[in-house]
Structure 1
Amino acid sequence: MPKYIYAYHGGSAPETPEEGEKVMAQWMSWLGGMGEDALDMGNPAGPSKTVSAGGVADDGGSNPISGYSLVQAPDMDTAVEMAKGCPALSSGGTVEVAEAMEM
């Protein structure tokens, strides 16, 4: 079955420990609900650097990644439908869905 990368962008961080626990529970419920299709629940991403032929930028680019997960689905449309339940969407974030191509 094809694998898909969920690259999370934007969204707001929890402001209190209690809010953090609530958000984490939402993420665990969403990804946990995928069962075996959630191959790697992933992690949030810290500050990043963008490396190009022209050098290194400290800003993370125009749309820095805020986290990732790896899932499996029969096709792109299904992977996109699965992504629509992502908790990041309710805090202004987006989910970029890309197939992890087999080599």
Structure 2
Amino acid sequence: MPKYIFAYHGGGMPETEEEGKRVMAAWGAWMESMGDKLVDGGNPVGMSSTLTADGLSDGGGANPLSGYTIVEAESVEAAAEMGKGCPILEGGSGTIEIAPLIDM
């Protein structure tokens, strides 16, 4: 079955310990709901840097990556259905870029 990466953009850090627990529980429940289709729960990432032919720059570019997850799905549409329950989409502060992983 094809694998897809969910590349997260945006979102934010919880402001309180209570909110952090709620957010972590939401992520855990969402990942659990995918069962064996969850290949790699992934991780959040720190501030990225961009490497070009001209050198390295800080700031992560126009839409920096904030984390990732890898799933198995029959199609990009099926992967998108799985992604609809992702907590990063709550409140409209984050997005998910979905791309197939190509076996080499």
Q: If the TM-score is normalised by the length of the shorter chain, which range does it land in?
A: over 0.9
Cα RMSD, aligned residues only: 0.8
Q: Secondary structure at 1:85's aligned position in 2? A: coil
1:3 to partner: Cα distance: 0.4
1:53 aligns with 2:53: yes
Q: Secondary structure at 1:14's aligned position in 2? A: coil
Letter in 1 for 2:11: G
1:99 aligns with 2:100: yes
Letter in 2 for 1:99: P
Q: Secondary structure at 2:68's aligned position in 1? A: strand
Query: What is the TM-score of this pair, normalised by structure 1?
Result: 0.96
Cα deviation 1:33-52 (Å, max 9, x = unaligned)? 10111111011111111111
Number of positions where the alignment pairs a residue of Structure 1 with one of Structure 2: 103
In structure 1, distance between residues paired with 2:57 and 2:84: 31
Q: Secondary structure at 2:39's aligned position in 1? A: strand
Q: Secondary structure at 2:96's aligned position in 1? A: strand
1:68 aligns with 2:68: yes
Report runs of 4+ in structure 1 exceeding 2 Å deviation: none
Percent identical pairs in the alignment equals 53
Task: Name the counterpart of 2:36.
Answer: 36
Q: Secondary structure at 1:79's aligned position in 2? A: helix
Q: What are structure 1's unaligned runs of at least 5 residues? A: none
